[in-house]
Amino acid sequence: MAIPLVLTQESPTRPVVRLSLWLFGKPAWEIERLEGADVDAQLLNEISKCGEEIKTRLVRVSQIGRTLLNAGWDGCGLLYDLDFLKEVTLEEAKAELKALGINESEITLDEEDLEDEDDR
Domain count, the chain: 1
Q: What is the pLDDT of residues 74-116, one digit of tens each?
A: 999 999 999 999 999 999 999 999 999 999 999 999 998 876 5
The DSSP string of 29-81 is HHSTT-TTPPP-HHHHHHHHHHHHHHHHHHHHHHHHHHHHHHTT-EEEE-SSE
pLDDT tens for each residue of 66-79: 999 999 999 999 99
Q: What is the CATH number of the domain that holds 99?
A: 3.30.70
CA distance 7 to 10: 9
The mean predicted confidence, pLDDT, of the chain is 89
94 domain residue, yes or no:
yes
Within-domain flag for 7: no
Pair 100, 71: CB distance under 8 Å: yes
In a domain, 5, yes or no: no
Question: In which domain, by residue range, is 92 found?
Answer: 13-119
